[in-house]
Amino acid sequence: MIWLAWRQFRAQSIAAAAVLALLAIVLAATGPHLASLYNGAGLSDCHANCIALAGNFVAQFEGSYIGSLYYLGVVLMYLTPALIGIFWGAPLISRELETGTFRLAWNQSVTRTRWTLTKLGLIGLASVATAGLLSLAISWWASPIDAAFQFGGQYTPVSFIRMSPPIFDARGVVPLGYAAFAFALGVTAGVVLRRTLPAMAVTLVLFAAVQILVPVFIRPNIIPPDQIIAPLIAPSAGLTIRGSQGTTGGVLTVQGDFSKPGAWILSDQSITPAGHVFAVPATQACLGNKGQACMNWIARQHLRQLVTYQPASRFWPLQWIETAFYFALAAVLCALCTWQIRRRNP
Amino acid sequence: MLWLTWRQFRAQAIVASAALVAVAIALLATGPHLASLFDSNGLATCRVGCGVDASNFINQVKGSGTEVVFYCSVLLVYAVPALIGLFWGAPLVTRELESGTFRLAWNQSVTRTRWIAVKLGLIGLAAMATTGLLSLMISLWSGPLYQAAQKAGGSDELSISRFAPPLFGANGVAPIGYAAFAFVLGVTVGVLLRRLVPAMAITLALFAAVQLLMISAVRPHLIPASSAIEPLSAVTFNGEGETDNGHLLLDLGTINRMPGAWIVNARPVNSAGQLAATVPQPCASMTNTWLQCLASHGVRIQVSYQPTSRYWAFQWLETGTFVSLAAGLGALCYSRVRRLT
C-alpha cells in the first residue's frame, strides 16, 4: 500500500525535490554575502542611529539581484501552497475516478477508507514538509532584510515589516498550515466534483479567496488589536497633512506620527473632540502648505490621534493561531472527503 | 465542426464571461470616483506645473480601497494568460488523448489536422479577445493614475510607471500577446507530453520562465537604449546616501525633462566620465547641501533610458514577439498532431 502510494507520487516528489535543491543552492550561494552586508553596515551590534544604518543597508541591496531574490522568495511562498493544492491535491482521487482505476485499486485487500487515509496522510505530510523546508530556507536567507525592515525609518516601506500581510504569510510556520489546507481542499474538490480539471480550477479559486479574506477580515481581529488615543501635537515632525495642496485642495485629513517598530498599523486617524473622524474640506489656512499658519489652525481644532495596531510581540502568537486554524480546516476537509468516499457508490 | 468546438469550449467560455462581467462591475463601481477625484484636483485642465495637484491626487488614492483595486487588477492581468495556458491550452488535446475520444473525433470526415487548426484558431482568438478586453478595461480605469504619476514626476509617492517592468506587462496590447503564447504553449506541451496534469505543470513553469527572461534579458534591448549625462539638479532621486566605507549611493527616480521614461540603468560619474564609486572627501558628511556639494565636485548621473515616446513601439514589439512565438509553436503542434499515432 505504502509502496503504491509512493510509486504514484514519485514524479511529483522528484519535481518538488529538484525545485527545493535548486533553490537551496541559490540561497546558500547568496546568503552569506547578504549576511556580511548586514554586519558590514554595523547593524548586528547597533545601539544608536540604527534607522540610518538600516537605510544604508537597504539602499545597498535594493535594485540589485538580492532585491529581486527577496521579492521572488515572497512570491514563491505564496505560490507553493496553491500549486500543491492544484497539482498534488486535486488529481489525487479524481484521476482514479476519471480513468476508472479506482475499480481495481479499491477492491483489493486494503479497504478504500484505509487507502484514502494512507494517501491523505502521506502526501499531506509531504506537502507540509515541502512548505516547511521552503519557509525555513527563505526565512533564514531573508532574516537580515527582515531585521533591517524591523527598525523602521524612511527607507522602509511600511508594508514590508513581517507583521503585516505580504510578509507575514511568507514567513514562520503559517506556510505549513496553508500547504495542509490547500492539499486537503484540492482532494475534497476532486472527490466532490469527480473530474480533475474543474477540481483544479475550483481549488485555485477557493484557495485564492481564502488567502485574500483571512488577512483582510480575520487576522486583524484574532487577538483584539491595541489602541492608543493621545492628543495630536500640531507642529510635530511626523505630521502628514493630506488634501491641502494645489489651488483648490481636497478633503483635508491629518495623520500623526506613530512609531512602534515592527507594529502592524491597522488604522491611524485623527478624531475631533466630539469623537468623529476628522475630514473636512480644505481650509484657506492650509491651502498650498502654508506651514505655520496651517499648524496653528490644526492646533486650534484640539484633535486627538487614534491608532489601532497589533504590536510586533504578537508575531508568534498570531502565527501559531493561524497555523492551527488552517490545520483544523484541513482536518475537517479530510474527514469530509473520507466520509464521502466511504458512503458513495462511485 | 464549429458547433462541436463551441460545445466542448462552452463551460470555459461561460466561466470567462462571468469573470469578465464581475471585473467590469467592480471597475464601473470604483472608476467614476477615481475620475472625479482626478477632475476635482484640477488635473484634467492643468497644463504646466501640475506636480502639486498630481501628488495631492495620488495622496488621496494612496491607502484607500482604490489602491487595492489597482494592485488586484494588475495581478489579474498577469494571472489571466497563465490561467488560459493551464486551463484552456493544456487540456485541449490531452483530454482527447487520455479519455480516448480522439479515436472517434479524429476519424470523421474532418481530418485531424483541420480539426486542430480550427481549435487552435478559434480558442486562440477567444483567449486573445478575453485578455484584450480585460487589459482595455483596466487600462481605461487606471488611466488617471498613470497620467497623474507622470505629471507628479519625482514627488510621485505611488511611484508607478506604465513603462517600467512590473506594470508594463499589465497595460496596453502586450497581454494579448501573452495570452496567445500561453494558450499555444499549453496545447503544444499537451501534444508532446500527452498527459494532462504534467502538461499543466510544465506549461506554468515554461510560461513563468519565458516571462522572467523577457523582462530581464530581452525587453531592455528590443530597441537600443538612449544614453545621456544629466546634472544632479536635473534628476529626482528616490534615495541618496553613502555607506560606512564611503560608497556613493544614488537611487534615481525620474529624469525631470522626461517624465514617464523607463530608466534602464543609472550610475554616478565624475567630471572625466568615469564611474564615481566613492563620495569625494569634502562632501563626506551629509548635510542639506550634500547634492550641491557632489555637483560642485563634478558628479553627474549617466543614465541609459527608453524615452516615453517609445512606449507604444515597445508594446507592439512585445506583442509581436509573443504572437510570433505562438505562431511558431502552433506550427510545431500542427505537424506533431499530423504525425501522431
pLDDT digits (tens, 9 = 90+) for A204-222: 999 999 998 898 888 988 8
pLDDT at B189: 95
pLDDT at A42: 75
pLDDT at B108: 78
Q: Chain B closest CA to A245's CA: distance in Å? A: 6
pLDDT at A188: 95
Q: DSSP string of A67-123?
A: HHHHHHHHHHHHHHHHHHIIIIIHHHHHHHHHHSTHHHHTTSSS-HHHHHHHHHHHH
Q: What is the mean pLDDT of chain A?
A: 83
pLDDT at B328: 95
Chain A residue nearest residue B266, CA to CA: A63
| A230-239 confidence digits (pLDDT tens) | 877 765 555 6
Of A37, A248, A326, A295, give the one whose Cα is nearest residue B247: A37
Instruction: Centre a 10 Å sphere on the Cβ of residue B97 and count the other Cβ atoms it contains.
Output: 17
Of B325, B77, B323, B321, give the one whose Cα is nearest residue B221: B321
User: Which chain B residues have a beta carbon less than 8 Å from that of A245?
Assistant: 52-53, 55-56, 59
Q: Hey, are the CB atoms on A197 and B95 less than 8 Å from each other?
A: yes
pLDDT at A246: 53
**To which residue does cell 495631492 refer?**
B56
pLDDT over 60 at A11, yes or no: yes
Please give the helix or strand (H or E) that residue B171 lies within, else none.
none
Instruction: Centre a 10 Å sphere on the Cβ of residue B134 and count the other Cβ atoms it contains.
Output: 25
Tens-digit pLDDT string for chain B (341 aa) = 778 888 888 888 898 999 999 999 999 988 888 888 888 777 777 776 677 677 777 777 776 778 888 888 988 999 999 999 999 999 998 888 888 887 777 777 778 888 888 889 999 999 999 999 999 999 999 888 888 877 776 544 556 778 888 788 888 899 999 999 999 999 999 999 988 889 999 999 999 999 989 988 888 888 898 888 888 777 776 666 665 556 666 767 677 777 778 888 888 888 877 777 777 777 766 666 677 777 888 888 888 888 888 999 999 999 999 999 999 999 999 888 888 76
Contact (CB, 8 A) for A200 and A88: no
Of A11, A91, A248, the CB nearest to B42: A248
pLDDT over 80 at A173, yes or no: yes
User: Which chain B residues have a beta carbon less than 8 Å from that of A11?
Assistant: 198
The residue among B128 and A246 whose pLDDT is bigger is: B128
Instruction: Centre a 10 Å sphere on the Cβ of residue B121 and count the other Cβ atoms it contains.
Output: 12
The residue among A70 and A47 whose pLDDT is bigger is: A70
pLDDT at A153: 56
Contacting A with CB below 8 Å, chain B residues are 11, 15, 37, 40-42, 52-53, 55-57, 59-60, 83, 86-87, 91, 95, 98-99, 196-198, 200-201, 204, 239, 241-245, 247, 249, 251
User: Which chain B residues have a beta carbon less than 8 Å from that of A200?
Assistant: 86-87, 200
Share of chain A above pLDDT 90, in %: 33
Over residues A235-253, mean pLDDT: 62
Q: Chain B closest CA to A48's CA: distance in Å? A: 15
pLDDT at A80: 94
Instruction: Centre a 10 Å sphere on the Cβ of residue A162 and count the other Cβ atoms it contains.
Output: 23
Q: Hey, are the CB atoms on B41 and A91 less than 8 Å from each other?
A: no
pLDDT at A264: 84
Of B60, B197, B200, the CB nearest to A242: B60
pLDDT at A346: 53
Q: Percentage helix, strand, coil, to 5, in chain A?
A: 65, 10, 25
- Give the global pTM: 0.82
Domain boundaries of chain A, sorted by first residue: 2-224+314-343, 233-302
Distance of alpha carbon B206 from the chain centroid: 17
Q: Chain B closest CA to A288's CA: distance in Å? A: 9
Please give the ipTM for the structure prediction.
0.73
pLDDT at B157: 53
Of B220, B291, B219, B306, give the one whose Cα is nearest residue B261: B306
The residue among A141 and A115 whose pLDDT is bigger is: A141
For the ranges A260-269, A276-285, A295-304, the lowest mean pLDDT is seen at: A276-285
State the count of interchain CB pairs (< 8 A) between A and B.
Answer: 81
pLDDT at A23: 93
pLDDT confidence band for A317 (50 / 70 / 90): very high
| Residue B102: partners with Cβ closer than 8 Å, 6 or more residues away | B93, B96, B112
pLDDT at A206: 94
Contacting B with CB below 8 Å, chain A residues are 11, 15, 40-42, 55-56, 59-60, 62-63, 83, 86-87, 91, 95, 98-99, 154-155, 196-198, 200-201, 204, 242-251, 288
